[in-house]
Amino acid sequence: MTCRRYSVSILLASSLIALSGCGVLSSWTQSTPAPISGSKKVGAGRTAAAFGSAATAADGKAHDVVLFALGLIETGYRFGGKNPEAGLDCSGMVNYVFDKAADRRLGGSAADLARQGKPVSVEQLRPGDLVFFNTNKRSYSHVGIYIGDARFIHAPNSRGKVRAESLANGWFAAHFEEARTYFD
């Protein structure tokens, strides 16, 4: 039953991407150009258009990472969780997705993941890159997978399930720390 749920989720995610054209969830920038505020690194007054374009980077393994992550939406959260059957935490989700979709074993916590990637500016963000946040006054304490159009997928906390969020959201904009890429 679990395997069927993920197959249906991946099929649904693939259909949504196909229907949206080249960009993942591209209507967000057209209908809601909200300014990003609260983070010096992101920059006050930037809109979603300031983020990298989904149309220029959704290729190869990075594209597979995005599709696989979309298929995990609604998966339950579990601190320390490393697979969808048991539940996922933020770094467990990222490690699982990169292992299964890109055949890359990153390993470790959000902070460990940050040390492994190459920093990219907000303007250079591409789908499949990782976005890091400072939560509870701890650097690189939360991570998500960028999917394009200022949106990312993450496993938030014990009160939630894997879901997509906007980097322009006040809380995430205020706690955004850095983006890193794992694809050359």
* pTM across the whole model: 0.73
Taking only the tens of pLDDT, the chain with its 184 residues reads 444 444 444 444 444 443 333 233 322 232 232 333 333 344 334 444 454 544 443 368 999 999 999 999 999 999 999 999 999 999 999 999 999 999 999 999 999 999 999 999 999 999 999 999 999 889 999 999 999 999 999 999 888 899 999 999 889 999 999 999 998 7
**Shortest CA distance to 146 belongs to which of 106, 179, 173, 101?**
179
Determine contact, residues 182/123, Cβ cutoff 8 Å: no
Q: How many residues does the chain have?
A: 184
In sign, the C-alpha dihedral spanning 134, 97, 5, 82 is: negative
Name every residue whose Cβ is closer than 8 Å to that of residue 138 and which is 6 or more positions away in sequence: none
* Cβ atoms 48, 115 nearer than 8 A: no
Question: What is the gyration radius of the CA atoms in the chain, in angstroms?
Answer: 15
Cα–Cα dist 10/21, whole Å: 17
Any idea where the domains of the chain sit in the sequence?
A: 2-181
Q: How far apart are the first and last CA of the chain?
A: 37
Catalytic residues: 90, 142, 154
Q: Are 142 and 114 a contacting pair, CB within 8 Å?
A: no
For residues 127 and 94, is the Cβ–Cβ distance under 8 A?
Answer: no
Written out in words, the top-level CATH class of the domain with range 2-181 is: alpha beta
